[in-house]
Amino acid sequence: MNGKQHSLVGLGAGLTAGLLAGAGPVGLAVWAGVAGITSAGPTSPDMDQDHRWRRADTVLPDEALGHGGPMKHRGLTHWFGLPLAAAGLVYLNDIVLLVNGRPLPVEWVLWAAIVGWSSHIVADAAFGKGGVPLLGWYGNVGLELSQDGILARAVAGAAPVAACLLWAATAGLDLGWLYDSATTVAGR
Ligand SMILES: [Zn+2]
């Protein structure tokens, strides 16, 4: 998938996760936005798109660690263990550091970031050459479906649409909040 397609998948995943978490309209926008950011480009598992990463990779002898090293393309950043570990930490934080018996206020933003990042890894496991690593940066596996084929485009296009349909379904097509916020803004 190209960057734009990864963004669309991340957007759809973030929106869906936000809906499942019961977020309101503003929250949903943040869920989708943050997941969109961590699903594509240098702020995603494709961190090696940043020239600083590539420069560091040429200097650092990470290849000595075998299998092209953790910094290779589709290396450590594409391992599902990372978002899983992050989710574990946030969850642990949930249990240990409750504020007034509730999770930290910004915690769901971290979940949105994890969802976006994970969506990229799932997409790369299906599309494009190289798959994703099974352990760290070892043992890449993937379906290796065509990077820019019709299926990649269909999935990328369908992800946000499916999320919006879910939104409409869960909202029971009740757009009262939109009316309310519009009249509030107009009344000011
Ligand atoms: Zn990637």
Give the burial string for 106-124 (b: 16+ CB within 10 Å, else e).
Answer: ebbbbbbbbbbbbbbbebb
Closest CA to 2 of 118, 105, 123: 123
How far lies 167's CA from each of 57, 88, 110, 182, in Å? 42, 28, 21, 19
Within a 10 A sphere around the Cβ of 186, how many other Cβ atoms?
7
Token representation of residue 161:
């649409």
CA of 127 to the centre of ligand 1 (A): 9
CA of 33 to the centre of ligand 1 (A): 19
**What's the N-to-C CA distance of the chain in angstroms?**
45
Q: Is 139 in a helix, a strand, or coil?
A: strand
CA of 129 to the centre of ligand 1 (A): 10
CA of 1 to the centre of ligand 1 (A): 8
Token representation of residue 125:
């496991």
In whole angstroms, what separates CA 133 from the centre of its chain? Answer: 17
Q: Which residues contact 48 (CB under 8 A, 6 or more apart)?
A: 54, 57, 71, 72, 73, 77
d(CA 71, CA 171): 43
CA of 120 to the centre of ligand 1 (A): 6
Domain count along the chain: 1
d(CA 124, CA 18): 23
pLDDT at 93 over 60: yes
Query: What's residue 124's pLDDT?
Result: 98
Query: What's residue 172's pLDDT?
Result: 64
Q: What is the pLDDT of residues 111-149, one digit of tens each?
A: 999 999 999 999 999 999 999 999 999 999 999 999 989
Q: Which domain holds residue 169?
A: 3-187
CA of 71 to the centre of ligand 1 (A): 12
Average the pLDDT over each of 39-48, 67-76, 161-170 and give the range with the smallest value: 161-170
Determine the residue type at 68. G
Q: What is the pLDDT of residues 19-36, one digit of tens each?
A: 998 898 899 999 999 999
Query: What's residue 99's pLDDT?
Result: 62
Enter the pTM of the model.
Answer: 0.86
CA of 147 to the centre of ligand 1 (A): 11
Token representation of residue 79:
């391992």
- The H-or-E segment that residue 38 falls in is none
pLDDT at 83 over 60: yes
d(CA 128, CA 74): 10
